Structure 1
Amino acid sequence: MNKFRKRNFPTDQVRRFLEPGPIVLVSSAWKEERNIMTLGWHMVMGFEPSLLACYIWEANHSFEMIRRSKQCVINLPALDLLDTVVGIGNCSGADTDKFAEFGLTAQRGSRVEAPLLAECHSNFECRLYDGSQVGKHGLFIWEVVKAHVAAVPRIPQTVHYRGEGKFMVSGPDISRRSRFKPENL
């Protein structure tokens, strides 16, 4: 095993190492308005029920729509949508119809009013499970109430933000399944 020489590192930059989750597109709707935002700050919190948490900045145009509707769709784009993901993150829904601007197809959800994005590999319809941290930290805890996942590819090539405008792309699977206890799979 390698041992590494270490150096002091700015604590406000540690996220560059700890944000391995894929970038997602969060779609929302409230009354007659809808929007899409790019999001990298999310985490799995539970399996049954399926709970996800995400941080949404209160100044983001989607924040109030999501807070009021108490629902959203977390859409998982693959590598082919990387430039769209960046474009969506660089503009505001306050003055841009992101569906039209980026040629994205809104599909009706079965459990929430927020639209699914047809061009994304997976769509997870979410309802607010716990809003106790929204006001203080902008942290929404969602229950996934319906999941839509493409059959092919079985595992999409996703993008993961590294900061400073750089991304990494998910790579090949490496299995250690035989070394796991069945209850930990």
Structure 2
Amino acid sequence: MKNLPLAKVYQLLEPGPVVLLTTAQKGRADVMTMYWHMMVEFEPPLVACVVSSADFSFAALKATKEFVIAIPALHLAQKVVDVGNSSGREVAKFEKFGLTPRKAARVAAPLVAECFANLECAVVHTRLVNKYNLFVLEVMKAWSDPKQRNPKTIHHRGYGKFVVDGSVIKLKSKMR
């Protein structure tokens, strides 16, 4: 074993796929790339996520307390990176990057038609927002695209590196 710089720890523990987070405020929809999120509870499904206060979407998220987590497959990887490398302050990202907003059932934020899954979410806990920019949310409605079968997701490893889902294995387990 050798010393690993603490700044690289997140590259080892990145919890899940890169996702798109959509918000809507005052009639304007925005989309951002997010990769700091984790499941907190199964039922109801609770997710914790970090959204930087420097992000354009932060103000809308804090004000409306609702958003959509859209889960893109591998074929959208370049668009996901391009969305993440731009700011909604200067760019209408849905239009610029060719993403299609679709009306959600429970929140004002749009679904992303090109993604294989979309989760409509409401913020249920904000106690850690001021200190850590950490929101806890409940998934209120979930959508999937049956035409996108067995989608591969991308996982951020830092500094422009990503890992793609690999083989699926099934082992006997008591976890659901």
Confirm or deny a common fold (TM above 0.5): yes
Q: Secondary structure at the match of 1:67?
A: helix
Aligned to 1:3: none
Greater Rg by CA? 1
| 1:79 pairs with one of 62, 74, 80 | 74
Alignment of 1:1-185 (within 5 A): 6-176=1-171, 179-181=172-174, 184-185=175-176
The residue identity in structure 1 corresponding to 2:17 is: P
Q: Partners in 1 of 2:147 and 2:124 — Cα distance?
A: 30
Q: Structure 1 pair 55/47, CA: closer, same or farther in 2 (3 Å)?
A: same
- 1:34-87 CA-to-partner distances (Å, cap 9, x unmatched) read 210000000000011100010000010000001100000000000000000010
Seq. identity, %? 44
Does the CA-based 8 Å contact 2:15-2:38 persist in structure 1?
no
Residues matched between the structures, number = 176
What SS does the aligned partner of 2:142 have?
strand
Q: Normalization by structure 2: what TM-score? A: 0.97
**Structure 2: which 5+ residue stretches go unaligned?**
none
Residue type of the partner of 1:159?
Answer: I
Instruction: Structure 1: give runs of 5+ residues left out of the alignment.
Output: 1-5
Amino acid at match of 2:21: V
DSSP 3-state at the match of 1:95: coil
